[in-house]
Structure 1
């Protein structure tokens, strides 16, 4: 994890510092002829959350993005982004998604602080492959305008805000300090981005599975989970290992077992936590053991544990 914070009124310094985070660009102040830049960057792996406010009206003319996507979400104010031959008006109700290799420029009015979600192209393509069950045959291209008021969009934004808040706590008992937890959360954010905002694979992702999964697929998935549930396994990992899409795998579990792959995985992990709590020493921590095996929400973990074993995790530990 790393972070950067900066405040400056120097236009050239603002251009250089922002350019180092994103890409080289031309920065032209508006009538104010100056900026009051406030910048905060929090980065983890292939993802970052950037809070950016120029403090005055500006025109930004960047080079095309080479290897990453940006989702720009104003807190207030407005801007216009010319991207892929279209003008998109960025407001509190409309985010702008910028895809690599497509020219763009943008203008922000004074008083338009915004949050930017940054994700490497390789991460997006990897998650598309997990969701589809095959590699993308062309780059993922998002529609530039993205409504922020739908339930899915609000849920995704809450995830981004939570991600930023946890990155700010790095080294101070953040949930993202644990690599396995951080990896799963990154995959969830990118996967939900692909489901929430339209792009050239959206129709394929939402289409019903053409081939209902066979019972053999579910048996293979269960065997794989039973062999590897102690590892930082995700539903994407399972689908990839079996050569199917995440949707196909989920459909199979629902039809054959009336559950989900992750619920089955959690059940196996609960058994593992139970065994470890029974043999752990007096100084062991329930929270540490739960986090080690992928349980992030302690309230939900405790409830599932009690339902399965008839007692609380702390009771097992003390026994």
Structure 2
């Protein structure tokens, strides 16, 4: 374990505990389809609830099962939550590629193992779960964490607006926001700002008003994403540090839209170029210059992501072979190998997790 943790009496730890109290008040005021307060003493029910809100995983209770209790309070249209276990718990999580999860330790202790590093810490520890990196977490019996979930599609879109290019590969973030750093303090400020807007309004005109209008929520989410992209270490930071490139031309964006809409069809390069209104040579040059890959490589990435989404839905979408063939992967052995290199597990393992 490296030194990403915090002293229990540090200023950051104290502020994290106060942040937890603010979150309790703010989340208690929330209502809606994607909000709620769930309490259960059944590990299976707890695991199912975590799957619905986050990612596929394996959960292991550390300690007497009879002492198990989980409380999950969710608000802000499902993007913010407080999670607490009354017993020690180990979670082995599988990424979905759909969101980034930034966690602030409010109380107790966590140990985190990622492909990049391992670390641990108490109140104030901040962890960034990248969208495609498996992670194993162990929590103490009194551990409570505040989660902020950010959609990867919106994050990639903001990255492209800032740099003029889509990420050349999936963005991977350093898994720990180190304590007593400027980024640590800034992230606490962002979360506190979100909570202040989430808390119930006061005054004679507050009755019946939503705590967070959709427009304000989107702006706050973008502020949080901008903070991550500009203030925290990630795989696309070098490109962001350079001079912003020109936006991708219209024919590249048109080709991408066409491929997403027709990913299940046996598309050829000529068909994609025709849909984009340019020659094959122009289309290929555009993708090389603005996407750092060929159009067909981009199509393969789109299909791989679609296949993973189907596998995460479970057997109702078919078996591994059915799903692979549905998305144009005729060579099942190659599909399984490419899938494992990208997601850290086999297609069958993803299907079984559901």
Q: Taking CA–CA contacts closer than 8 Å with sequence separation of 6 or more, which of the two structures ends up with the larger relative contact order?
A: 2
Separation in structure 1 between the aligned mates of residue 88 and residue 129 of structure 2, nearest angstrom? 20
Separation in structure 1 between the aligned mates of residue 161 and residue 121 of structure 2, nearest angstrom? 31
Contact 1:39 1:53 in 2 (8 A): yes
Superposition deviation, residue 19 in structure 1:
1.4
Aligned-pair Cα RMSD in Å? 2.4
Match of 1:196 in 2: 231
Superposition deviation, residue 201 in structure 1:
2.0
Superposition deviation, residue 142 in structure 1:
0.2
Q: List aligned pairs for 1:1-319, cutoff 5 A.
A: 2-33=34-65, 34-44=67-77, 48-169=79-200, 172-173=208-209, 176-177=212-213, 179-207=214-242, 209=243
Separation in structure 2 between the aligned mates of residue 5 and residue 113 of structure 1, nearest angstrom? 14
Superposition deviation, residue 43 in structure 1:
3.5
Contact 2:129 2:173 in 1 (8 A): yes
Superposition deviation, residue 74 in structure 1:
0.5
Alignment TM-score, normalising by the size of structure 2:
0.53
Contact 2:199 2:211 in 1 (8 A): no
Separation in structure 1 between the aligned mates of residue 168 and residue 146 of structure 2, nearest angstrom? 31
Unaligned 5+ residue runs, structure 2? 1-31, 202-206, 246-354
Moved over 4 A (4+): none
Contact 1:55 1:111 in 2 (8 A): yes
Unaligned 5+ residue runs, structure 1? 212-319
- Deviations 1:271-304, CA, capped at 9 Å, x for gaps: xxxxxxxxxxxxxxxxxxxxxxxxxxxxxxxxxx
Task: Kindly tell me the number of residue pairs found equivalent between the two proteins.
Answer: 207
Alignment TM-score, normalising by the size of structure 1:
0.59
Q: Secondary structure at the match of 1:17?
A: helix
Contact 2:76 2:212 in 1 (8 A): no
Separation in structure 1 between the aligned mates of residue 175 and residue 182 of structure 2, nearest angstrom? 19
- Deviations 1:162-189, CA, capped at 9 Å, x for gaps: 3244335398545632x43333222112
Separation in structure 2 between the aligned mates of residue 175 and residue 155 of structure 1, nearest angstrom? 23
